[in-house]
Amino acid sequence: MRTFHLSPFIAALLLAACQAIPVKVADVKTLETVEIKDSASVAAIKFDRVGIKIKRGTAIGSYDPGVLGLNCAIDDGNIFWNQGRVLARDVEFEDIFFNEMKAANFNVVGDPEKMFAGATDDSKSPRYLIGGQIDDIKLEICEEISLWTGYPRGTQKGKGSVRVRWQVFNIVTRKVEYETTTQGAANLNIGAAGGEMVLFHNAFANAVVN
């Protein structure tokens, strides 16, 4: 019987093939909030939609135990868009946008928590519709394990960033009046169930603020 031995070069190639695709979270600063003393003094805006222009199956994150702590599972796997625990249908874009813009005292209408908007002040027409398109998501995740047993705790921590291209549509002129791109980032230092989505939500909220 012939015995075959892998050369060091082939072994290195096989090892590299098993490693995760590198994913680097962007370093994003939170910008100063615009001061609006009277929300009625600015035009009314309303959230319209946010799309995600990322191909299904794209690697948007990685599990990196070497950077994020001793209680992380040794797993060099990737997080892929719209698969597993990171699904587009779970993102609460409308709630996040409304809450952040309202907190900044913008004249924002269309409270998603009000069931009967037509019977409230949300029935007034906005002057501008705001839409966005997410074209970049990055996550670095620690899958937490118990230091005593080594078993998964079902919680995740880490950091993440997103990039959003925004458009402001004038309802009167029927034109896009303004475009800009913002980024947002978030850190999750205490593990939470569904930590990947928590980071995604918080990074998006920071992109809204910026």
Whats the size of the chain, residue-wise? 210
What's the token pair of residue 29?
A: 């600063």
Strands (E), the chain: 45-52, 59-63, 78-80, 108-109, 128-145, 152-170, 175-192
CB of 57 within 8 A of CB of 78? Answer: no
Give the per-residue pLDDT at 8: 36
CA distance 26 to 119: 43
Give the per-residue pLDDT at 20: 72
pLDDT values of the chain reduced to their tens digit, one per residue, 210 residues? 433 333 333 333 333 334 678 888 889 998 888 888 998 899 999 999 888 889 888 999 888 765 556 777 776 688 888 765 555 555 688 899 999 999 999 999 988 777 665 555 555 789 999 999 999 999 998 888 877 876 778 888 999 999 999 999 999 999 999 999 999 999 998 888 888 889 999 999 999 999
CB of 149 within 8 A of CB of 142? Answer: no
For the stretch 176-180, contacts whose Cβ atoms lie closer than 8 Å and that sit 24 or more positions apart, written own/partner, are 177/128
What DSSP character marks residue 41? Answer: G
Give the per-residue pLDDT at 3: 37
What's the token pair of residue 111?
A: 């409270």
Domains of the chain: which residue ranges?
A: 44-209
Give the per-residue pLDDT at 98: 93
Give the per-residue pLDDT at 16: 37
Best CA proximity match to 42, nearest among 104, 116, 87 = 104
Give the per-residue pLDDT at 75: 67
CATH 3.20.140 assigned to domain 44-209? The reply is no
CB burial of residue 195 (10 Å; 0-12, 13-18, 19+):
buried
Give the DSSP letter string of 94-139.
Answer: HHHHHHHHHHTT--EE--TT-S-GGGSGGGSPPSEEEEEEEEEEEE
| CB count in 10 Å sphere of residue 146 | 10
pTM here is: 0.82
Give the per-residue pLDDT at 87: 53
What's the token pair of residue 110?
A: 């269309």
CB of 101 within 8 A of CB of 109? Answer: no
